Chain A
Amino acid sequence: MATMEKSKMIGDGKSPSQILKDIALSQEGILFIILVLTIMILSRSNENFLTTRNLFNQGRLMAEVGLMALPMTFIIITGGIDLSVGSILGLSAILVGYTWSNLGMPLEVAIVMALLGGSLAGFINGLIIVRINVPPLIMTLATLAFYRGLAQGISEARSVTGYPEWFFGLGQGTFLGFPSQLWLLIIAIIISITVLQRTTLGRTLYAIGNNAVGARFSGLPVDRTLLIIYTFSGFMAGLSGVIFVSRFTTTRSDMGNGLELDAIAAVVLGGTSIFGGKGSIIGTIIGVVMVQLLRNGLAINGVTNDATIVVIGSVLIVAILVNNQIQRLRQSE
């Protein structure tokens, strides 16, 4: 919503300084300023923080959460939530190993199976949410346990290792000098931004979030849209699962445990309203980057992990708090 407002404002023929102020004081603008400040502080105390090697490595580490946070943004914009993504990640990771090792299929087929499995898991979420009107939180809370259980059952708690070398290129290799999964993330970001801002699907998401009943009455394909984004969420979790396996060279049924909260935290940190109707991909990406760099920067500076999670929790609350106050002030102006 905020980005939509922004583009509208630019079209209104305001002075350049006014436009600049609007951008700086938008949700994303403020987050971006906080992010830059964080990076400046962190890089001053350790020269190894702001190196390409470290930043590329961080890009590698945040790719999975980033990939899952994108559809999560869509879902939260509609006022829903998807708690099952971490479990879907684990399930698809297991599917890669199971199809390849136990069923003896080629690894390419196994990857496709994992992506299909992830999408199917997301589709089932969406279908039941849409058709029976189960609140997304309940549905995905139940499938959080169910998909994780399926992963454990299918794998019988065995891990699969010994994948061919080429497969590790996805999770550990580089492509044109960039970590390979970062390319995937960048492509996904571009697609997501385009979808959210330039297509009817994107506008429908905001409409659903603002007023689901109204959207339905005005003839928007609410059900179909929701089905698409939950399936998309499952697909992205499946993709993350494949990257996970490639990065860790093994499959375990407990992979991705708790990642759903990381993804949600990144999305809400990015200014997407949990009540729906507001939010942007840019904000989410800033959120993902901020959490990742904070973890990294604090650790590099010798802060232990227990203190780090206190800092990240506080930043989450304070960032939203500051942003809310500023947006409120701007509105009252």
Chain B
Amino acid sequence: MDKAKPKNVSLTLWIPLILALLVFGAYRFLPFISQPELGATTISVLTESRSNNELGVITNGLILMPIAASVLFLLGLWNFANHEVNRTTAAVTALMGVIMLEYYVVFAQDYMQEEATYLSSMSIGFWVLLILGILMVLQVFLPRSTVEQEFKLTKMIANQESAIIIALVALILIVGISNPRYLATRNILDVLQGNAYIAVAAIGMSMVIITGNIDISVGSLIGLLAIVSGRLVVGGWVLGGWEIGGLMIGGWIMPAAPIWVAWIVPLILGAAIGAFIGFLVTYLRVPSIVVTLGMLSILKGLLIMWTSGQRVTDMPDGYLIAQMKPFGISTPIYFMIILTILAAVWMRYSGLGRSFYAIGGNAEAARLSGLSERRIIMQVFMINGVFAGIASVLYATQLSIIQATPPPSLELFVITAAVVGGVSILGGKGTVIGATLAAILLNAIRSGMIFIDVSPFWIQAVQGALILITVLIDLIRRKRQRL
């Protein structure tokens, strides 16, 4: 513990100074300063509402911010003189964070009361300050490197799930303050629902990744199974009648299948394709990335050869399971939550579930302790296929029309959800809960960017940056804990 100390101290020495710099920088970019023409109106609105504000906060951000920055700066200087200041630094930084947040409370109140629209046109400084404020408060809860400063909260923050929850809450707060409509029940439900099928697929993907494998073909698989399901329930397609190179093989025109068949067949077919992949991976020893990279093209090619782009429409109403809303909440959310919990519990307590971790963590040791690696890997790919099947049914029934082409780069979305969710790509670690949360986070980011009027040209970059930040913060936090 002591050995690591000098390093820690040198870091904490810098924190307040960097923060002070940032606050000054952000202050410089506050709309009143950087955009005088905007500032004129905003300040007048602000001061008007100030005159009768009950909070009693008489100053506005123009005065609060430099104070906070100066305090941080002095703290930073003081840190250089006294090295044992971890706790003080944390406390004072948090206090400054509180001051900044207070500024936003006032803003939010004005916003609610006056229905003023200036918040949507705030510039960089506004958002940087808000994020800094939240981070400054949050850093109190981060684990410290010394034993006496660890408290129970750190245990809760000790895993990736909570890192994502924090990111999610922070995002919802920031966006929600800027645009309260984001917090409307309907939107929250839409945010939860939007990526539900990706979350379900990510559960299976997490299991595959935990065993040290990967499945790149899941996007094509979901696209194919969705069309299978849709065609089954609508009927009228030709079985065996496949045109290859101008040669037409005769077939049977299929009648419409019962709805439950259309729901179950994708699961079975998914499991079968998963078994095929698993067979190639285990018994023929082709690395999973090679098999699934190949399957990605094969399944996509087959899908196009089969449909040549024909969509499926006219599905019966009873089939559209994803559009049902028991108790006012749409079914994909139930699926996502229930499957995640079931999978998490199963992974934790069942023998097979635990053996996934064993294989991923150390395949050799797992083999020596009598686990059949082959069978387990076969099973994990089959389970992944079943989850892809469920995801494909949710995807197929979400709209009243099934497009013949799967969403482009769907596999990357699923893998991103799984790995951002904390499933170590090297295998042997992680949980499926993180994957689901990450899928929700991805959709919350997408939706949030719209609500705070990010320039549409930059939405992708901001999304990428936020994903990167989530991953980096988690890894740095993990590294700190190890010290």
Whether chain B is bound by chain A comes out as yes
Query: Which residues on A are within 8 Å of B, measured CB to CB?
Result: 128, 132-135, 137-139, 141-150, 152-153, 155-157, 258, 261, 264-265, 268, 273-275, 303, 306-310, 312-314, 316-317, 320-321, 324-325, 328
* Max chain B Cβ within 10 angstroms of own Cβ: one of A128, A147, A306: A306
Partner of B305, one of A142, A146, A306: A306
Partner of A308, one of B286, B301, B302, B425: B301
- Bound: A143/B302 CA distance, A: 31
Are B412 and A144 in contact, CB atoms less than 8 angstroms apart?
yes
Partner of B426, one of A135, A141, A157, A273: A135
Main secondary structure of the interface of B (DSSP, over half): helix
- Bound: A86/B201 CA distance, A: 25
How far is the CB of B425 from the nearest CB of chain A, in Å?
4
Are A321 and B280 in contact, CB atoms less than 8 angstroms apart?
yes
Are B286 and A317 in contact, CB atoms less than 8 angstroms apart?
yes
Are A142 and B471 in contact, CB atoms less than 8 angstroms apart?
yes
Are A309 and B301 in contact, CB atoms less than 8 angstroms apart?
yes
Cβ-based interface call for B74 (8 A) = no
Cβ-based interface call for B459 (8 A) = yes
Closest to B460 in A: A149
How far is the CB of B16 from the nearest CB of chain A, in Å?
23
Query: Which residues on B are within 8 Å of A, measured CB to CB?
Result: 216, 244-245, 280, 284-287, 289-291, 293-298, 300-302, 304-305, 409, 412, 415-416, 419-420, 424-426, 455, 457-465, 467-468, 471-472, 475-476, 479
Are A142 and B462 in contact, CB atoms less than 8 angstroms apart?
no
Partner of B464, one of A137, A146, A306: A146
What residues of A have a CB within 8 angstroms of the CB of B304 in the complex? 306
Are B298 and A152 in contact, CB atoms less than 8 angstroms apart?
no
Are B287 and A150 in contact, CB atoms less than 8 angstroms apart?
no
Partner of A138, one of B293, B295, B425, B459: B425
Top 7 nearest A-B pairs (CB, nearest first) are A149-B461, A146-B464, A149-B460, A313-B297, A145-B464, A310-B301, A313-B298
Closest to B464 in A: A146
How far is the CB of A278 from the nearest CB of chain B, in Å?
11
- Bound: A325/B286 CA distance, A: 10
What residues of A have a CB within 8 angstroms of the CB of B291 in the complex? 317
Are B457 and A153 in contact, CB atoms less than 8 angstroms apart?
yes
**What are 7 A-B contacts defined by CB distance under 8 Å?**
A135-B425, A142-B420, A152-B457, A268-B289, A316-B294, A320-B290, A324-B284
Partner of B294, one of A135, A137, A314: A314
- A128-B467 in contact given A137-B425, A141-B415, A153-B458 (Cβ < 8 Å): no
What residues of A have a CB within 8 angstroms of the CB of B476 in the complex? 132
What residues of B have a CB within 8 angstroms of the CB of A268 in the complex? 287, 289-290, 293
What residues of B have a CB within 8 angstroms of the CB of A314 in the complex? 294, 298
Partner of B301, one of A273, A306, A324, A328: A306
* Max chain A Cβ within 10 angstroms of own Cβ: one of B287, B301, B304, B426: B301
Other contacts beyond A141-B415, A317-B280: 12, CB < 8 A: A132-B475, A137-B419, A141-B416, A148-B460, A152-B461, A264-B289, A265-B293, A274-B290, A306-B305, A307-B301, A316-B293, A328-B285
- Bound: A316/B294 CA distance, A: 6
What residues of B have a CB within 8 angstroms of the CB of A310 in the complex? 297-298, 301-302, 305
How far is the CB of A330 from the nearest CB of chain B, in Å?
14
Closest to A327 in B: B285
Are A321 and B284 in contact, CB atoms less than 8 angstroms apart?
yes
What residues of A have a CB within 8 angstroms of the CB of B289 in the complex? 264, 268, 274
- Bound: A157/B416 CA distance, A: 25
Are A133 and B475 in contact, CB atoms less than 8 angstroms apart?
yes
What residues of A have a CB within 8 angstroms of the CB of B296 in the complex? 261, 313
- Bound: A174/B471 CA distance, A: 45
Are B294 and A313 in contact, CB atoms less than 8 angstroms apart?
yes
Closest to A260 in B: B412
Partner of A152, one of B245, B300, B409, B460: B460
Are B287 and A274 in contact, CB atoms less than 8 angstroms apart?
yes
How far is the CB of B461 from the nearest CB of chain A, in Å?
3
What residues of A have a CB within 8 angstroms of the CB of B426 in the complex? 135
Closest to A156 in B: B457
Are A320 and B286 in contact, CB atoms less than 8 angstroms apart?
yes
Are B290 and A317 in contact, CB atoms less than 8 angstroms apart?
yes
How far is the CB of B11 from the nearest CB of chain A, in Å?
14
How far is the CB of B266 from the nearest CB of chain A, in Å?
21
Are A324 and B285 in contact, CB atoms less than 8 angstroms apart?
yes
Closest to B424 in A: A135
Closest to A157 in B: B457
Closest to A302 in B: B245
Closest to A137 in B: B425
What residues of A have a CB within 8 angstroms of the CB of B216 in the complex? 261
- A153-B461 in contact given A142-B471, A275-B287 (Cβ < 8 Å): yes
Are B464 and A134 in contact, CB atoms less than 8 angstroms apart?
no
- Bound: A258/B410 CA distance, A: 12
What residues of B have a CB within 8 angstroms of the CB of A149 in the complex? 458-465
